[in-house]
Amino acid sequence: MTVTCSSYDDRVVMGNVGFSKGVHYWEITIDRYDNHPDPAFGVARYDTTKEMMLGKDDKSWSMYIDNNRSWFIHKNVHADRAEGGICVGSVIGVLLDLNRRTLTFFVNDQRQGPIAFKDLQGVFFPAISLNRNVQVTVHSGLELPPDLDTY
């Protein structure tokens, strides 16, 4: 699935299948990016706010990233700034492990910062927020890469 946003305002796109147990991994390839926007990738409750950056409300958890660094965000609290950004061709990995109740992010097969969020419980939908002419392709239903088994 390819997602594009041409608005200057953030827009949230969500998957149509929610997860409440098990280990789930998906990737997002950056198809178009001009180094200015801050796309965000993560998970959300079904009724998250769809007109603001993912992670700004209490129903979404995300990593937002620019061309130099990233942050984790939930309830509009920014944490764990990590160096390393994205460009066209970058691949973001999202690992939702509901057995361990954690959410972890990867950029180009390298973990981006520490485990982003812990103690997750309930039903979560894959989610993305985009703005300012960003285009991404989502690759869902992927097997967990073997080298991520011991993240």
Spatial contact of 83 and 77, defined as CB atoms under 8 Å apart: no
d(CA 81, CA 144) in angstroms, rounded, equals 25
d(CA 126, CA 136) in angstroms, rounded, equals 14
Residue 19: pLDDT band (50, 70, 90) is: very high
Q: Which is higher by pLDDT, 5 or 33?
A: 33
Spatial contact of 57 and 46, defined as CB atoms under 8 Å apart: no
| pLDDT for 53 beyond 80 | yes
- pTM equals 0.94
Q: What mean pLDDT do residues 124-130 have?
A: 98
Question: Would you state the pLDDT for residue 151?
Answer: 54
Rg (CA), the chain: 14
Question: Would you state the pLDDT for residue 122?
Answer: 97
Question: Would you state the pLDDT for residue 149?
Answer: 55
Question: Would you state the pLDDT for residue 148?
Answer: 67
